[in-house]
Structure formats: structure tokens, C-alpha cells
Amino acid sequence: MHIDQETKVFGLIGYPLSHSLSPLMHNQAFAVAGINAVYLPFPVQPDLFSSVVNAAKTLGIQGFNVTIPYKEMIIPYLDEVDQEAGQCGSVNLVIIKEGRTLGFNTDGIGFLDSLRQEGHQPSGLAVILGAGGAARALGYTLAMNGSQTVFVNRTLPRAQQLAQEIISLTGQESWAIDYGGQVNEYLGRANLVVNTTPLGMFPDIDKMPDIDLYRVDSKAKICDIIYNPVFTRLLKEAQDLGLRTMSGIGMFVNQGARSWELLIGKKAPWQEMYDVVQKRLLRD
């Protein structure tokens, strides 16, 4: 890697950041595309967060991704937020141009890209397990693209609030339930089931959401947005039942590729980004 006066600096802000694969993925894309830029991890402690946007501007950083726990907290510090990020209430990308900061969210569209790459178009009912930030981004994007949604959450009021917001933002039907018996009825009608909870994520790989996969229609697709491990227990059990599955690795690469394209203004080298991430995940 060659660093000089012209090298553009990008990065990722979150806390902690020890396991993030974003720097690996974005730097691979810069190398493949021959772009004089570097992407760095910036773990920002919560007590210093309020100064992060000014610090980035001062240092000439041209843009950065945002991850847990700052996706919502960053919004008041930005000059503008695009429509999707504003409606999701969550920003995972900030571009700094001529001193102004603009926020985007590429999580929802990244997930949709993955579905479409696998020939699946959103329609009918999507069962979304969880009601946090990722569920909000996915639910909004799926609803905007024609799906009805039901949010299944441990904390029912959080899911109820989210379902109400989805209805008022998109005009699509949306419901909220907890992990009781009603889940089975919705699972039987769903053509998409998505885990957005951390259940099954490394190192707790033996966990999975408390749903009965036998109830799922045989034509439904079971997705996990966890990408470490690539195949979670949920996906393995679904595969054993002959159900179609999709790992979170595609969403991770697609949200990254969408971010890269907004930052750089060129088509991202998707395959190389995917390959470097998959190779690292399967090695670990």
C-alpha cells in the first residue's frame, strides 16, 4: 500500500470494533480498483463520541461507516440525512463533502440486494425476529418493496412501536408479537423469515431464536443477518429440513459495496469484496 499526500482517508466508527471485517473489505476494494485511499477502524469511546464528526472534518476524513452503538446517536450531529436513513432513524454511512455531512443507511438495501441476488423478490409476509436497529432498516425496506411484516420480539412494546411506525411510514400492514404460540401461525404464512437478533453469533454459536422450523412453509426462505459464523445454527437446522437459507455475509458485503459506491462514485468490485470476507470468516 502506498500512502502519500493525496491518499483519501475513510473509516468505521463504533465501539468496540475488535472483530470488524469492514477495513479488510474496503481496503481490498481500494487495492483492486487502484484507488489511492485507506479505510481505518476508529473505535470511539462513548464519552468522546460528541466530538467525532468535528474531529473527522478537522482531519480531512472524507467519509465513514457507523456501527453499534452509534447508528442512531449520530443523526443530530449531521447536516443532512437522506430519506431512507431519516425514516429508519439510523445512519450507517456519513459522507463529508465541502465541510458538510450527509447520512445514509445501506443496511436495508444491502439485505434486499442479497435477496435479489438469490432470485427472491419481497412479497407476501416477512417474519422478522427482533425489533432493534437492523430489524427497523430491513422491515422498512421490505415494506417499501411490497412485503407485509410481523416483528417477533422478546420485548413486545418495542415491536409494537416499530410495527406502528412501519404502517405509518409505508402504508403496508405490519404486526407485533412475542415468542408465544402466535408465532407458528405467522410462520406458516411467511415466505421470508429473517433473524435480526444476535442469537447464534460467535462465540454463542449454539443459540438460535425460539421458533419451530417445522411450521415454516416449504417454499419460504430462512435468512440470518449474522455473518460470523457464516452458517448459524438456525440456518443449519433449516437446511436439515430442506428449507432454502441465506447467510448474513451477502448483506454485509452488499451494505459495504453500496457504501463504497457512495463514497467513491464508482462501481464496487463486489466479488473481490465478498471473496476476502468469506475467506477470512471460513479461516477463523
Should residue 259 be labelled a site residue for ligand NAP when binding is judged by CB under 6 A? Answer: no
In DSSP terms, 273 is beta-bridged to none
Taking the CA atoms of residue 249, residue 255, residue 256 and residue 257 in that order, the dihedral angle to the nearest 10 degrees is 100
Should residue 89 be labelled a site residue for ligand NAP when binding is judged by CB under 6 A? Answer: no
Give the nearer residue to ligand NAP in terms of CB position, either 63 or 248.
Answer: 248
What whole-number distance in Å separates Cα of residue 113 and Cα of residue 21? 19
Give the nearer residue to ligand NAP in terms of CB position, either 30 or 252.
Answer: 252
Give the nearer residue to ligand NAP in terms of CB position, either 95 or 251.
Answer: 251
Should residue 235 be labelled a site residue for ligand NAP when binding is judged by CB under 6 A? Answer: no
Active-site residue, 219 included: no
What whole-number distance in Å separates Cα of residue 110 and Cα of residue 56? 25
Distances in Å between the Cα of 113 and the Cα atoms of 116, 229, 284 are: 5, 20, 26
Cβ at position 138, least distance to ligand NAP in Å: 9
Should residue 134 be labelled a site residue for ligand NAP when binding is judged by CB under 6 A? Answer: yes
Should residue 201 be labelled a site residue for ligand NAP when binding is judged by CB under 6 A? Answer: yes
Give the nearer residue to ligand NAP in terms of CB position, either 217 or 275.
Answer: 275
Choosing from 8, 71, 97, 267, the catalytic residue is 71
What whole-number distance in Å separates Cα of residue 197 and Cα of residue 27? 28
Task: Rule CB under 6 A: choose which of 153, 232, 245, 259 binds ligand NAP.
Answer: 153
Q: What is the 3-state secondary structure (H, E, C) of 178-228?
A: CCCCHHHHHHHHEEEEEECCCCCCCCCCCCCCCCCHHHCCCCCEEEECCCC
Should residue 139 be labelled a site residue for ligand NAP when binding is judged by CB under 6 A? Answer: no
User: Which grid coordinates are listed for 263?
Assistant: 463514497
Binding window for ligand NAP (CB under 6 A); candidates: 213-221, 229-237, 249-257, 271-279: 249-257
Can you state the angle between helices 270-283 and 22-33, rounded to 10 degrees?
A: 140
Give the nearer residue to ligand NAP in terms of CB position, either 217 or 230.
Answer: 230
Helix, strand, coil shares, percent, the chain, to 5: 45, 20, 35
Task: Rule CB under 6 A: choose which of 8, 120, 154, 244 binds ligand NAP.
Answer: 154
* Contacting ligand NAP within 155-184 (CB under 6 A): 155, 158
Should residue 190 be labelled a site residue for ligand NAP when binding is judged by CB under 6 A? Answer: no
What whole-number distance in Å separates Cα of residue 172 and Cα of residue 208? 28
Should residue 248 be labelled a site residue for ligand NAP when binding is judged by CB under 6 A? Answer: yes
User: Which grid coordinates are listed for 59?
Assistant: 482531519
Residues 115 and 98: beta-carbon distance below 8 Å: no
Should residue 198 be labelled a site residue for ligand NAP when binding is judged by CB under 6 A? Answer: yes
Binding window for ligand NAP (CB under 6 A); candidates: 26-34, 119-127, 195-203, 230-238: 195-203
- Which residue minimizes CB distance to ligand NAP? 132
Should residue 197 be labelled a site residue for ligand NAP when binding is judged by CB under 6 A? Answer: yes
Tally helices (H) and strands (E) across the chain.
Answer: 10, 12
Give the residues lining the site for ligand NAP (CB under 6 A): 68, 107, 130-135, 153-155, 158, 196-199, 201, 225-227, 248, 251-252, 255
Show which residues are catalytic. 71
